[in-house]
Amino acid sequence: MKKLVLLLSLVLIAGAALPQEVESHKPMGRWCYNILTKRIEGPEKDKRRMKKGVRIISRKHISSNQAYKLTLLFNEDEYRLGFVKGLYPSITDKSNAIIMLDGFEKFSYQTILWEYIQAENRKFGVEETDITSYQEFLEMRDRKRDRQYDEDDDKDLIIEEEEVEENAISEHTEEETTSETTETELEENQIEANTNSTIFPDAAAYTGKNKGCDNYLSEKPFLAFANTVAQFDNDKEKAIICMEYTEKYCFTTSQVMKLGVIIENEASRYVFFKTAQDKVYDKDNFRYVKQLLTNERFIEELD
């Protein structure tokens, strides 16, 4: 009898020590998230905001990006950290939780949170974060924050873009030079270009011999990059970042088009298309980008 009890105890202990499989959940929708944000914004003091937020979210499911935006409601890192720790079990994509470090002002609190995330993810059996991808995200974040660019590297690009804008304005004095693109949804790591007739060519089915490179950027890192680009306010900055990445990576025509939707100004979009043309994987499909241009001069120069 004693041996049986001992055996059962060992089985229970071993089961508890193994990483538990986490049930998959979808984060709350935009409507629910907006209501949640308003409720958490209510309290004036961070301490009350922290307690109220943790209490509400403990019964819901939330994405890392949604949690990051909520951390920006706090004024002090101390309560921001307590808020993140309290809601962490409710995060649906814990492998992306590293994005929440960006909401903290002090490096010491970022370090504490990062160690906490690593420890918690091991308990939940979550795979480790790709630090290389995160480092690239930090570089783009710092560039957005500083809004400083090397004048020598970007001088020719800025001059070319300004000339394109001036020509577009002179040719269309009574028309706007910016195309009316629909709002691009990037939440939950998906880009939805809301156009009825636009065709996005499938590079996986591409059999043409005319290729710009051997391999193109896979979908997961591309979506992470596109999400970051969409956070920039200025279309010139968006175009510059996209052009820099076409020097480092190879994109498909469809990916270039999706980035083009994020760049609302048509002149900036055209300059990006022109720069990316040589590095596109499926070159024979590049004609499809002309669907996102209305200026006849831009379309003709891409032919």
The pLDDT tens digits for 75-128 are: 999 999 999 999 999 998 888 888 888 888 888 888 899 889 989 988 888 876
Residues 213 and 236: their CA atoms lie apart, in Å, by 26
pLDDT in tens, 114-143: 889 989 988 888 876 655 555 565 566 555
Tokens 């949690």 belong to which residue? 67
Inform me whether the pLDDT recorded for 246 exceeds 90. Answer: no
Report the pLDDT value the prediction gives residue 79, as an integer from 0 to 100.
94
Report the pLDDT value the prediction gives residue 220, as an integer from 0 to 100.
83
Report the pLDDT value the prediction gives residue 55, as an integer from 0 to 100.
93
88 in Cβ contact with 22 (< 8 Å): no
Residues 133 and 138: their CA atoms lie apart, in Å, by 9
226 in Cβ contact with 252 (< 8 Å): no
Greatest mean pLDDT among 19-33, 121-135, 177-191, 247-261:
247-261
Inform me whether the pLDDT recorded for 9 exceeds 70. Answer: no
Greatest mean pLDDT among 45-54, 151-160, 275-284:
45-54
Inform me whether the pLDDT recorded for 292 exceeds 60. Answer: yes
Report the pLDDT value the prediction gives residue 181, as an integer from 0 to 100.
38
CB atoms within 10 A of CB 261: 23
Amino acid found at 37: T
Over residues 49-75, the mean pLDDT reads 91
206 in Cβ contact with 285 (< 8 Å): yes
Inform me whether the pLDDT recorded for 145 exceeds 60. Answer: no
User: Above pLDDT 90, what percent of the chain?
Assistant: 18
Report the pLDDT value the prediction gives residue 144, as an integer from 0 to 100.
52
**288 Cβ contact list (under 8 Å, min separation 6):** 199, 200, 201, 253, 254, 257
Averaged confidence pLDDT in the chain: 76
Over residues 293-300, the mean pLDDT reads 88
The confidence band for 4, taking pLDDT boundaries of 50, 70 and 90, is very low
Dihedral of alpha carbons 225, 193, 219, 100, sign: positive
Both tokens of residue 24? 């998959």
Inform me whether the pLDDT recorded for 52 exceeds 60. Answer: yes
**Strand, helix or coil for residue 19:** coil
Q: Give the distance from CA 37 to its chain's centroid.
A: 20
- Residue predicted with more confidence, 197 or 146: 197
- Residue predicted with more confidence, 240 or 189: 240
The confidence band for 50, taking pLDDT boundaries of 50, 70 and 90, is very high
**Strand, helix or coil for residue 130:** coil
